[in-house]
């Protein structure tokens, strides 16, 4: 099956090649460990009323971990709609404060995200809840001040509660315009954010996909799988599409199939069996042809792992990754 997988990837690559591409493997999405996701940090999430606005900015929203315990953040939800009549997708992320990952007071957002994701929002009158997964999961200690961010404005309405009954965030949010790479600037345009941060306990372990090496011409890249059940099976999914699965826009919540809090991030074009060792780990290698003709070929991966009794379909999933063949 693994050989079939490699052969199929090369065949598709030769049919749709680009040149001059830098090789990369980028991780995204979240895995699941069978535990219930909690939303211990939220604002204006009880019966929210959306104040629809069209603002051409990317916003960072302030949060403080007031729970008294460390939280592992795997994503968040915002209550919003699109400002267009179509489904829109925007970038999301988690950001440490500029003064560091242990800051207890907000100053301004760091210019670089510590975790990244994407959010897909549909046009719904009055707004609805939409979820984003972040990679990697980030553990925030008690009392730490940090930020989360969403862009795609003005295509996606900022998640703001109306003035009456709305509660303002701990400090002003900050904004920038990604189109001209402005620095973060203080703003009061979106003061009463509507959000829920999604958190998982640190144990049990979450199935994890990591890459060793890059998909470079004439080289071998190995995908390493950890966090599975000892001596059971894992299923490595290779896909040519990360926008939909079974006709549904990704990420797809697998609760409908019996796996709550697990998300499918890609299509499922090719699936290969990986037998896990006594530590619940396994690997699969990809040999990249030494040919510039396959430059730019892109595919995606995610892993499903057998976990008897963890849910009604006995499966957990890992985070996902995107490979781009190049130099």
Q: Is residue 249 predicted with pLDDT exceeding 60? A: yes
Written as six digits, the tokens of 107 are 């100053």
User: For the residues 16-34, what does the mean pLDDT come to?
Assistant: 82
CA nearest neighbour of 90 among 68, 110, 119, 62: 119
Domains of the chain, CATH where assigned:
2-35+204-324 (2.60.40.10), 38-200 (2.60.120)
> Is residue 3 very low, low, confident or very high in pLDDT (cuts 50, 70, 90)?
very low
Among 13-22, 34-43, 193-202, 290-299, the least confident range: 13-22
> Is residue 18 very low, low, confident or very high in pLDDT (cuts 50, 70, 90)?
low
CA nearest neighbour of 98 among 88, 112, 108, 86: 108
User: For the residues 43-70, what does the mean pLDDT come to?
Assistant: 93
- What pTM does this model have? 0.81
CA nearest neighbour of 26 among 95, 109, 91: 91
- What pLDDT score was predicted for residue 54? 86
- Count of Cβ atoms closer than 10 Å to residue 197 Cβ: 24
Q: Is residue 1 predicted with pLDDT exceeding 70? A: no
On average, the pLDDT of the chain sits at 90
Nearest 5 degrees, angle CA 217-CA 31-CA 21? 20
Beta bridge partners of 129: 79
Residue 254 phi, psi (nearest 5): -80, 10
Distance, in Å, from the CA atom of 56 to the CA atom of 289, rounded to the nearest integer, reads 43
- What pLDDT score was predicted for residue 138? 94
User: For the residues 297-308, what does the mean pLDDT come to?
Assistant: 96
- Count of Cβ atoms closer than 10 Å to residue 327 Cβ: 12
- What pLDDT score was predicted for residue 177? 60
> Is residue 5 very low, low, confident or very high in pLDDT (cuts 50, 70, 90)?
very low
Reported as a single tens digit per residue, the pLDDT across 186-236 is 998 899 999 999 998 877 888 999 999 999 999 999 999 999 999 999 999
The alpha carbon of residue 308 and the mean position of all alpha carbons in its chain are separated, in whole angstroms, by 26
């Amino acid at each position: 099956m693994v050989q079939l997988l490699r052969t199929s990837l090369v065949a598709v690559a030769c049919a749709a090649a680009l040149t001059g591409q830098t090789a990369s493997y980028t991780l995204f999405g979240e895995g699941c460990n069978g535990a219930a996701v909690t939303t211990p940090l939220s604002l204006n999430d009880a019966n929210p009323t959306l104040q629809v606005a069209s603002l051409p900015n990317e916003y960072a929203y302030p949060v403080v971990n007031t729970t008294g315990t460390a939280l592992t953040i795997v994503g968040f939800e915002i209550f919003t709609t699109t400002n267009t009549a179509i489904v829109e997708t925007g970038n999301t992320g988690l950001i440490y404060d500029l003064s560091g990952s242990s800051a207890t007071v907000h100053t301004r957002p760091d210019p670089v995200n510590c975790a990244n994701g994407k959010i897909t929002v549909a046009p719904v009158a009055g707004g609805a809840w939409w979820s984003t997964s972040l990679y990697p999961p980030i553990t925030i200690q008690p009392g730490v001040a940090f930020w989360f961010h969403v862009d795609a404005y003005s295509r996606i309405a900022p998640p703001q509660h109306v003035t009456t009954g709305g509660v303002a965030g701990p400090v002003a949010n900050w904004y920038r315009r990604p189109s001209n790479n402005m620095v973060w600037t203080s703003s009061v345009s979106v003061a009463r954010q509507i959000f829920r941060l999604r958190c998982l306990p640190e144990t049990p372990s979450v199935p994890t996909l990591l890459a060793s090496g890059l998909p470079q011409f004439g080289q071998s890249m190995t995908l390493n799988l950890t966090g599975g059940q000892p001596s059971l099976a894992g299923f490595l999914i290779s896909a040519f599409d990360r926008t939909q699965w079974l006709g549904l826009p990704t990420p797809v919540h697998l609760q409908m199939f019996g796996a709550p809090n697990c998300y499918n991030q890609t299509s499922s074009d090719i699936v290969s069996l990986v037998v896990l060792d006594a530590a619940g780990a396994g690997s699969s290698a990809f040999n990249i042809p030494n040919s510039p003709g396959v430059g730019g070929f892109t595919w995606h991966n995610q892993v499903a792992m057998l976990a008897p009794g963890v849910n009604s379909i006995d499966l957990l999933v890992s985070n996902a990754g995107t490979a781009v063949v190049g130099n």
